[in-house]
Chain A
Amino acid sequence: MSAETQAPAAETSNGAVAVARAAVVSWKAPIAFGVFALLALVLFVLNPRAEAETGFRLSTGRDFIQIPDLIVPAFVTGVIVTIALFAIALWSAILVRQRRKTPLWVVIVFAVLFMVGFLAWAAAGETVPVPGLLIGTVSLSVPLIFGAMAGVISERGGVVNIAIEGQLLSGAFTSALIASVTNNPYLGLLGAAIAGLLVSFVLGAFAVKYFVDQIIVGVVLNVLVIGLTSFLYSKVLQADAATLNSPERFARIDIPVLSGIPIIGPVLFSQTIIVYVMYVAVAVIAFALFKTRWGLRLRSVGEHPTAADTVGINVAATRFWNVSLGGAIAGFGGAYFTLGSVGAFQKEMTAGMGFIALAAVIFGKWHPVKATLAALLFGFATNLKNVLGVIGSPVPSEFMLMLPYIVTVFAVAGLVGVSRAPAADGKPYIKS
């Protein structure tokens, strides 16, 4: 991915290509590969586990097609994986010497191979529930993805949205309350979106109309929403939890045929309606941002508001309403915490996920699909921690808790390459 900055160069004339290439040859990918391959050598080959075999469970009990567990010899797998990792690192180095970029699929193959080797090593003597690992990944990623979509829309329009955390939390609170009172989870979803919208109205008003520092407004809003929801939870919801904080949860909906596919089926197509809405939302946002008039206008006010203003686009209104749209999306995603997952609202139940969503936006280069992948990577790292903690990994639990954050830092630092924000991101547009 690091070499992706070359892409625009390839479209320009020949002369420009040569210059651009000379400037962006990057050794990041092979160096990162080399580091991980060395890590693999140290862990899998030089520190083998006492247990001989590792199992990979591929089916859940509910699956239509049952695949038997895959049992692999732990040490041999480790050795093969390590050799393959070194081979990829070497190949990537050769590609860089030839001034060619390392394709994205190589990065993915490398990551998957490393993960297989790591699991075979860490879970030796145990069975890794592969569908469980992936189902947990999706459920931990859903709020991150909604939050990241809110961030992408808002920041593409030039307003930094630190308040994602507050928007998620307000959505979680409102959806639980409304769904409990009305006994209708769909109204809860609507309420969640409205709650997120109201939070972003405040952000939009201060950031767009009054030119207040967007980061400060966002931080203040987060603290405000945490305080407000915790207060209302203690004083109102707790007083009568049976009527105010016991929402009906959405049931899982199995998509016919698709949910029967081994591994992928139960992971992607046996989910609640919130997750299906998320699939649609990511696709629609990815399309609309780059192919519609709305997307073009949004990006123009984020990149060069003066130019946009000159051609007659109302910069303030465009920014305000798109920040609001982002807030509504994040609020909707907040409903996943309650209606989609655990039912009742709990204090501070978003536990910082809004900030991780913000990291996913940057990691995903302000692109809806890449931000989604970043969020999934983060969810995977978190759930890997869970699974390995349960089956008793040789890695200390404190380190396992850092794992998701380490993955993020590595990914952002090592693999993303240059991450460029929209040019006017965070800058108020003051019309002269």
Chain B
Amino acid sequence: MRNSMRRFAIGGAAAIGTSVLVLTGCAAPPETDGNGNGNGETSNPDFIPCMVSDTGGFDDKSFNQLGYEGLTEAAQEIGATPNTVQSNAETDYASNISNLVDQGCNLIVTVGFLLAEATVAGAEANPDVEFTIIDDFADLNGDGKPDSDNIKPIVFDTAQAAFLAGYAAASYSKTGVVGTYGGIAIPPVTIFMDGFVQGVEYYNAQKGTSVRALGWDVAAQNGSFTGGFEAGIESKSLAQSLIDQNADVILPVGGPIFTSAVEAIRDSGKDIAMIGVDADLYETYPEGKDLFLTSILKGMKVGVHDVVIQASKGEFDSTPFVGTLDNDGVGIAPFHDFESKVDSKLADELDQVRKGIIDGSIEVTSPSSPKQ
């Protein structure tokens, strides 16, 4: 008798456990449908633009989110309903792409270098579907052009913009130490670090200073990484290591990992600035806006938007889009709150450097830069 009561208690407790888990699952609001309001001549409601995220998801406040916004805006303009799917693991990429193909997608945008293999495989298997990949040349066989005619790569020479940010960081730093760290050592991440460190070196050469850039060695292509794109204690302790070395400008590169750096800076109580990546984090991450010296912008939103519009008009081509300082595909954000704290001549100097990079008199060399 007593025993069966106990058993009942155990089963009951477990039932409560499961039902609470299930109930909380049900409490989520229904997904809102982005119903387009077809306006003007670009309207093409039958066109289905689609997108696959990498494991960061569409709410990563940077990379995937920007691509997603570009897609939804373009879809709204043409009055189409986009079809998007998030990847929860690297093993999802190929199956997500083939699911979207089955859904009748006309254009599939894959967000990120990590999806390159799955994209090429998908494009070769489905020659009627158009593909666009962000941040990779889709050139797995190394012949200098995308592996399939139905892939349009959107790539960015982010090193150019990061060079400007490095210059600004070196100019702003009071301790003479700036630092960077990344998520995973892949070209779209290290290209930021290449440009950043070279910008600092250029500043030193121009001004005769010796500002140090920690966390990345351009020659050896070796530096500090969290090993993933998740924000958390790993990222925080890495930022803390930079703070321990007296760095007062920090550039974390890799999706949401910068949020942990914000907390590390708050904990240290020191006067440390950050540089954002991809979007102007002053605008997109208001919780930390007092910390952002500037952000290295990558025109993913515009790039995706334009490709979707083009494709909807039937003007898709596989010529790669390469974002540079020259075509405003990359750039740096305004100083916002730091306007009054940076050197008054800095803006003019950056303008000169920018011109120098565009006309080629200043060389930014990154092995990760897209081949022009």
A binding-site residues for B, Cβ under 8 Å? 127, 129, 132, 135-136, 139-140, 143, 197-199, 201-202, 204-206, 208-209, 224, 226-228, 230-236, 238-239, 246, 249, 314, 316-317, 320, 324, 336-337, 341-344, 346-351, 382-383, 386-387, 389-392, 396-398, 401
Specify which chain A residues have a CB less than 8 angstroms from the CB of B7 in the assembled complex.
Answer: 209, 316
Query: Which of B14-22, B147-155, B339-347 lies on the face that meets chain A?
Result: B14-22
Q: Is the CB of B230 within 8 A of A349?
A: yes
State the CA gap A417–B88 with chains docked (Å).
39
Specify which chain B residues have a CB less than 8 angstroms from the CB of A197 in the assembled complex.
Answer: 17
Of residues A209, A336, A348, which shows the largest number of chain B Cβ atoms within 10 Å of its Cβ?
Answer: A348
Q: Is the CB of A205 within 8 A of B17?
A: yes
Q: Is the CB of B29 within 8 A of A236?
A: yes
CB of B30 to closest CB in A, whole Å:
9
B225 within 8 A of partner (CB): yes
The residue in chain A whose Cβ has the minimal distance to the Cβ of B245 is: A390
State the CA gap A239–B14 with chains docked (Å).
31
Convert B84-108 into 0s and 1s, putting 1 for each residue whose CB lies closer than 8 angstroms to a CB of A.
0010100000000000000000000
Specify which chain B residues have a CB less than 8 angstroms from the CB of A249 in the assembled complex.
Answer: 263
Other 14 A-B pairs with CB < 8 A, given A199-B17, A382-B237: A132-B241, A139-B237, A204-B14, A205-B15, A205-B17, A232-B24, A233-B59, A235-B31, A314-B6, A316-B6, A342-B260, A347-B57, A347-B230, A392-B214
Q: Is the CB of B25 within 8 A of A231?
A: yes
> Which residue of the partner chain, among B230, B241, B260, contacts A383 with CB atoms under 8 Å?
B241
Specify which chain A residues have a CB less than 8 angstroms from the CB of B1 in the assembled complex.
Answer: none
Specify which chain B residues have a CB less than 8 angstroms from the CB of A234 in the assembled complex.
Answer: 57-59, 86
> Which residue of the partner chain, among A198, A387, A397, contacts B17 with CB atoms under 8 Å?
A198
Q: Is the CB of B230 within 8 A of A346?
A: yes
Q: Is the CB of B17 within 8 A of A202?
A: yes
Of residues A201, A246, A314, A397, which shows the largest number of chain B Cβ atoms within 10 Å of its Cβ?
Answer: A397
State the CA gap A274–B17 with chains docked (Å).
25
The residue in chain B whose Cβ has the minimal distance to the Cβ of A343 is: B263
Q: Which 4 A-B pairs have the closest CB atoms?
A: A205-B14, A389-B224, A201-B17, A132-B244
Q: Is the CB of A342 within 8 A of B3?
A: no
State the CA gap A228–B259 with chains docked (Å).
22
Specify which chain B residues have a CB less than 8 angstroms from the CB of A351 in the assembled complex.
Answer: 228, 230, 232, 234
Q: Is the CB of B263 within 8 A of A342?
A: yes
Q: Is the CB of A342 within 8 A of B259?
A: yes
State whether A390 and B179 are in contact (beta carbons under 8 Å apart), knowing that A201-B17, A346-B256 are contacts in the complex.
yes
State whether A235 and B28 are in contact (beta carbons under 8 Å apart), knowing that A132-B240, A342-B233, A397-B222 are contacts in the complex.
yes
Specify which chain A residues have a CB less than 8 angstroms from the CB of B13 in the assembled complex.
Answer: 201, 205, 320, 324
B215 within 8 A of partner (CB): yes
CB of B214 to closest CB in A, whole Å:
5
State the CA gap A336–B233 with chains docked (Å).
9
- Interface class of chain A by DSSP: helix
Q: Is the CB of A386 within 8 A of B227?
A: no
Of residues B15, B17, B27, which shows the largest number of chain A Cβ atoms within 10 Å of its Cβ?
Answer: B17
Q: Is the CB of A390 within 8 A of B242?
A: yes
State whether A140 and B224 are in contact (beta carbons under 8 Å apart), knowing that A317-B6, A389-B181 are contacts in the complex.
no
Q: Is the CB of B14 within 8 A of A390?
A: no
Specify which chain B residues have a CB less than 8 angstroms from the CB of A235 in the assembled complex.
Answer: 28-29, 31
Q: Is the CB of A390 within 8 A of B215?
A: yes
State the CA gap A227–B237 with chains docked (Å).
26
The residue in chain B whose Cβ has the minimal distance to the Cβ of A57 is: B244
Specify which chain B residues have a CB less than 8 angstroms from the CB of A392 in the assembled complex.
Answer: 214-215, 217, 222-223
Q: Is the CB of B21 within 8 A of A198?
A: yes
The residue in chain B whose Cβ has the minimal distance to the Cβ of A241 is: B287
B34 within 8 A of partner (CB): no
State the CA gap A228–B25 with chains docked (Å).
7
CB of A148 to closest CB in B, whole Å:
16
B11 within 8 A of partner (CB): yes
> Which residue of the partner chain, among A140, A228, A347, A397, contacts B237 with CB atoms under 8 Å?
A140
Interface residues of B in 12-64 (CB under 8 A from A): 13-18, 20-21, 24-25, 27-29, 31, 57-59
The residue in chain B whose Cβ has the minimal distance to the Cβ of A142 is: B233
State the CA gap A382–B242 with chains docked (Å).
15
Of residues B13, B223, B232, B259, which shows the largest number of chain A Cβ atoms within 10 Å of its Cβ?
Answer: B232
The residue in chain B whose Cβ has the minimal distance to the Cβ of A232 is: B28
Q: Is the CB of B10 within 8 A of A320?
A: yes
Specify which chain B residues have a CB less than 8 angstroms from the CB of A238 in the assembled complex.
Answer: 59
B185 within 8 A of partner (CB): yes
Specify which chain B residues have a CB less than 8 angstroms from the CB of A383 in the assembled complex.
Answer: 237, 241
Q: Is the CB of B29 within 8 A of A239?
A: yes
Q: Is the CB of B233 within 8 A of A337?
A: yes
CB of B85 to closest CB in A, whole Å:
13
The residue in chain A whose Cβ has the minimal distance to the Cβ of B29 is: A235
B302 within 8 A of partner (CB): no
Q: Is the CB of A386 within 8 A of B237?
A: yes
State the CA gap A344–B25 with chains docked (Å).
20
> Which residue of the partner chain, among A205, A314, A344, contacts B3 with CB atoms under 8 Å?
A314
CB of B192 to closest CB in A, whole Å:
15
State the CA gap A407–B10 with chains docked (Å).
40
Q: Could you jot down 28 A-B contacts, CB within 8 Å?
A: A139-B236, A198-B21, A205-B10, A205-B13, A205-B14, A205-B15, A209-B7, A226-B88, A228-B21, A230-B57, A234-B59, A235-B28, A236-B29, A246-B287, A324-B13, A336-B233, A341-B233, A342-B231, A342-B260, A349-B232, A386-B224, A386-B234, A387-B244, A389-B238, A390-B245, A392-B222, A392-B223, A396-B222
Q: Is the CB of B28 within 8 A of A236?
A: yes
CB of A246 to closest CB in B, whole Å:
7
Of residues B11, B13, B31, B259, which shows the largest number of chain A Cβ atoms within 10 Å of its Cβ?
Answer: B13
Specify which chain B residues have a CB less than 8 angstroms from the CB of A226 in the assembled complex.
Answer: 88
The residue in chain B whose Cβ has the minimal distance to the Cβ of A200 is: B17
> Which residue of the partner chain, among B11, B28, B181, B242, contacts A231 with CB atoms under 8 Å?
B28
Specify which chain B residues have a CB less than 8 angstroms from the CB of A320 in the assembled complex.
Answer: 10, 13
CB of A424 to closest CB in B, whole Å:
18
State the CA gap A386–B238 with chains docked (Å).
5
CB of B219 to closest CB in A, whole Å:
11
The residue in chain B whose Cβ has the minimal distance to the Cβ of A227 is: B88
> Which residue of the partner chain, among B215, B235, B244, B259, contacts A389 with CB atoms under 8 Å?
B215
State the CA gap A84–B235 with chains docked (Å).
36
Specify which chain A residues have a CB less than 8 angstroms from the CB of B31 in the assembled complex.
Answer: 235
Q: Is the CB of A344 within 8 A of B10?
A: no
State whether A129 and B225 are in contact (beta carbons under 8 Å apart), knowing that A235-B28, A314-B6 are contacts in the complex.
no
State the CA gap A324–B13 with chains docked (Å).
10
State the CA gap A226–B57 with chains docked (Å).
13
> Which residue of the partner chain, among A132, A227, A228, A317, contacts B10 with CB atoms under 8 Å?
A317
State whether A391 and B245 are in contact (beta carbons under 8 Å apart), knowing that A201-B13, A227-B88, A234-B59 are contacts in the complex.
yes
CB of B370 to closest CB in A, whole Å:
23
